[in-house]
Amino acid sequence: AADLFDELTGPENQAVVFRFLEDMAKLDPRPLVPLAQNRKPALSKAIIDILGRLPDRRSVPLLATFMNYENREIRLHAVQTLGSFSGDLAAKIILNFLHDPDEGVRIAAARNIRISPRDEDLASHVVKIASEKGFTDKSEAEKSDVLNLLGRSRTNAALGYLKSLLDKGGLWERQKTMDARLCAARALAVMGTPTAVDALRAGTRR
């Protein structure tokens, strides 16, 4: 069926095969994963879609397999599908994509991770990534999305880091550091808690 999906033309024919593969996945989704291939992105994305549509969470750990695929399009689709799942496991898997070699995949990961306000460990891991040497050299879009992820988490770890980043700077401050501080200010606004507002008020005096 997987071979047919890749060979058939026309959405109607592919839809028939898709439904068959989906029925098989409901019995056991594990055999579908090895059918995905880098050189068959359409089939691979269809398999990811099927895993994302299953009513239970059996597919969440299986989607981690696609982190190692060379095809950027497949990795990106896996991130977006994982983002539709709630729960710590999906968030922890997407977290690995923040180390992806492609900036677009990293940005998609930052936008799709859901961190619970109770999950200080997960937020601390993102703080560690944002604290790495070279983070300020990344594009403004990537810095903004990673720091906004911290803002959405509303964790103490995120608040402490964003406040420290906002307080950085000095006479010989680099423009890239200033950009990161501005991103931190926007992330504190996203956080929106009373303590985040206090940090922003303190920042107006700098």
- What pLDDT sits at residue 168? 81
- What pLDDT sits at residue 167? 87
pLDDT in tens, the chain (206 residues): 999 998 888 889 899 999 999 999 999 999 999 999 999 999 999 999 999 999 777 889 999 999 999 999 999 999 999 999 988 899 999 999 999 999 999 999 999 999 988 899 999 999 999 999 889 889 999 999 999 999 999 999 999 999 999 988 765 568 888 888 999 999 999 999 999 999 999 988 87
- What pLDDT sits at residue 171? 55
Please write down the long-range contacts of 39-45, taking CB distance under 8 Å and 24 or more positions apart: 39/71, 40/6, 41/71, 41/73, 41/74, 42/5, 42/6, 43/2, 43/5, 43/6, 44/69, 44/71, 44/74, 44/77, 45/73, 45/74, 45/77
